[in-house]
Structure 1
Amino acid sequence: LVANAVYWCEEFHIDGLRVDAVASMLYLDYSRDSGQWTPNVFGGREDLDAKAFLQEMNATVYRRNPGVVTIAEESTAWEGVTRPTESGGLGFGLKWNMGWMHDSLEYIAKEPVHRKYHHHEMTFSMVYAYSENYVLPISHDEVVHGKQALVSKMPGDWWQRRANHRAYLAFMWAHPGKQLLFMGQEFAQGGEWSEEHGPEWWLLDEGYGPEADHRGVRDLVRDLNTRYRATPALWQRDTDPGGFRWVLCDAAEDNVFAFLRYDAEGVPLLAVSNFSPVVRHDYRMAVPDEVPVWYETLNTDDMRYGGSDVRLLDGIKPENGEITLTLPPLATVWLTPTSV
């Protein structure tokens, strides 16, 4: 099995390996009743052979193929999934953040009027965000087999579903962790992905109406990636608690979230999400004193993406440690100290 992992990396030059159902390997009693399993030599339920195998696999793959990534789909609180093997960890590069995925999808699928009762589902991930090196996945398990494509999970009419989709993606890109979409989500395909037909690329054909919405989501994902690469605050301190700070985590009645990300030099990015279908005027929030002016660098409500074009076109100067914003409906806005 170790040789097989190396084979895929060295002969086919794949970017990495995602190992499914790691929990079922790590626990001797996984899906077994009492009497159906034998404890290890220490009397515990951990499968020591499975642990040793995963450590050998990861260490060998990373040693022979620098630059690849291994990802564990591990659903328990096993300690050290992404810790280096020399420190006793399993040695994976990233861990599938199933908690964030389930909680955020549960929230975003609710009608906005009900979201205030589920506000904590979007903030709880920061309680454990630094326990492992996480990838934020919209997993294949959640968007096939009758569970609906991501955009089709969203509430509201056609426009609101696309707006929810765009706001959610920008929230995800700003959240600590790496981002992973499933096929078709990068242009808001409404039908479930089919292995027989592949993504519905025809939705991007030139034209007006619904097609433009799909192209708008595609353009947003392109711009999210471009901004991400150009903004160290979004990735440089991904595993450092000092690189994140809540600005608004308790605005449940408004369905608003706001947080800061910091790069190694302390330069911030402010991400603000309004998951309500209304424009919020004169919305105040506290910001760092050292930033003289904030500029909008990304807005999912931009007309280019299919939004209603409620923009923050001018620089916003703080007063008494606060800024006043006009929040677009069902949208995420990124602000930085310099304009792009």
Structure 2
Amino acid sequence: MLKGKTILLGVTGGIAAYKAAILCSRLVQAGANVRVIMTQSATKFITPLTLQTLSRHPVYLDTFDEKDPSVVAHIDLADHADLIIVAPATANIIGKMANGLADDMLSTTLLAATSPIIVAPAMNVHMYEHPAVVANIQTLASRGVRFVEPGTGQLACGYVAKGRLAEPEDIVAAAERLFRQGELLAGRRVLVTAGGTVERLDPVRFLTNDSSGRMGFAIAEAARNMGAEVVLVAGRTEGMPPAGVELVHARSAAEMLDAVVARFDEADIVVKAAAVADYRPAAASDRKIKKSGDTMTLELVKTTDILQELGARKTRQFLVGFAAETGDIEKYAMDKLQRKIAILSWRTTSRRKGRASTSIRISCKFMIVADSWPICR
């Protein structure tokens, strides 16, 4: 999986820096083109010559030491990297990454990077568990940075606890998994909906729900990481949508229906994670509705069921729906599956005297996911 890949290895100043030499060697043996950036602190533990010899490329130390006048080194390195691995990653570099600081060659390159990043922390257990470090790791994880957790064992400070750098073989395996994952949906088109819809009562009021859109965002990001071409149709959401996907805004159920139907024929996989309103106001006022009387009656009309509409239009697409329920999960999910044109088929063969063995195949018009587990019967 690593053959021909350009991997940028960032080495920071911890005692575990000696393992970076082993990691560099393993990556090169796997066929990767490895470029190394070391912080000044890292050079106190291992020499640049060691990593230059193992990588067969010059080691970068100084942002202003431009070796090739035709390019800006930190931008060129970031642009050509298929993957960046920071190992060992100190609390300092993790803090810089989380807060967008760029005061040396490595942090500057990381800030310019668009490739996937794997971080392998190594530090004292109390540092690793400090709220600031925990928060920084969570921030980076929310941005898509992957982590290879440190192991438990004898630390340089004398503690026997969690904090030692993961073994080089484990870090290489994480890199291989990342590239393998990136091929799973290569060439596929994935359409994902996310968030809640907004149904206007008047210019200042609307009906909606508690959906944050984070489930749809996570699915879109995962599909992107697997190599798919992703379209994300988003209603009212919280947080930042993932980068590297086509983002389409659709506030109301009607807008989301139009956006999804317009793109449905080209999609291979459709994941309907949005919480679409079942009803909308029969009429929306173009002015704020003024308060009058002790009660107010709203007339609501049913919206088009997008999932059912797609089920009726489905030709080759794999369609996934979500059932949000407060009880009797399987009952309501199965009812939804049946009402929305579920198609179940099966075949049976037998193995007798060399014939094929018994097998069952079940296919669905679409699949319902209830409480994070799929129902397709």
Give the TM-score normalised by the residue count of structure 1. Answer: 0.27
Larger RCO (alpha carbons 8 Å, 6+ apart): 1
Q: Which has the larger radius of gyration?
A: 2
